[in-house]
Amino acid sequence: MAARRTDGVNGRLFAMLRNALARLVRPLRRPVTGRSDARGHGPVRSRLLPAALVAATVLTTAAAVWLSVRVYEQRQAEQRRQDILAAARRSALNFTSLDYRHYDRDSRNVLRGATGDFKEQFAAQTAELTELVARNKSVSEGQVLEAGIVRADERSARVQVVADSKVTNTAVPRGEARTYRLQLDLVLENGHWLTSDVEFVG
């Protein structure tokens, strides 16, 4: 809806620009008769100068407003992009970082940035995951390498993240390096971007 409102504002501004330009150009195309006014103060066309100045002022003002709107839109879009990437990176880092010695804290970090079905499913499996990581003494130290937006609008986004982690457990006590490619779906809720789905894509 905000996008439609912006389109409407741009449309009105373009109309103002077009009308102002028409007013500015039209008088200059009239033939010059060379007649003077009753008091001999010069040709009639001199009377058109104030109208041309008004039209030029309107044109300049409309152009300035239009440019201001465009700059504002670009700043909003860039801020939204940065917020989405920051949320995706944080979610991916939480998802790939865990320690069996304080898994309750780690699972809360994941849930804090989650919503929808993903949050419900992860919460439902927390007890089982807690037992699993404790039994295997699992530790994973995640690190986000890259993150890129696949698509985004004002309320939702899809981001792909490449993350590394060093995993140690009873099977690999010296540690093992792993690389994950994650696809995260995010939605905007109460001013915060939250992860609604996580999928391993490579």
Q: What digits encode the pLDDT tens for the residues 175-188?
A: 999 999 999 999 99
- Positive or negative: CA dihedral 48, 53, 56, 62: negative
Dihedral of the alpha carbons of 188, 190, 193, 199, in degrees to the nearest 10: -70
Residue ranges of E strands in 92-170 = 98-99, 139-152, 156-168
Question: What token pair was written down for 157?
Answer: 């986004």
What does the pLDDT look like over 26-79, one tens digit per residue? 554 455 444 544 454 555 556 666 777 777 787 888 888 888 878 877 888 999
Which residues make Cβ contacts (< 8 Å) with residue 39, sequence separation at least 6? none
Cα 81 to Cα 197: distance, rounded to the nearest angstrom: 19
Q: Which residues contact 48 (CB under 8 A, 6 or more apart)?
A: 27, 28, 30
Q: What is the pLDDT of residues 98-131, one digit of tens each?
A: 999 999 999 999 999 999 999 999 999 999 999 9
Using CA atoms, how far apart are residues 1 and 155, in angstroms rounded to an integer? 11
Query: What phi and psi values does residue 175 have, to the nearest 5 degrees?
Result: 95, 150
Grade residue 139 by pLDDT with cuts at 50, 70 and 90.
very high
* Helix (H) / strand (E) containing 175: none
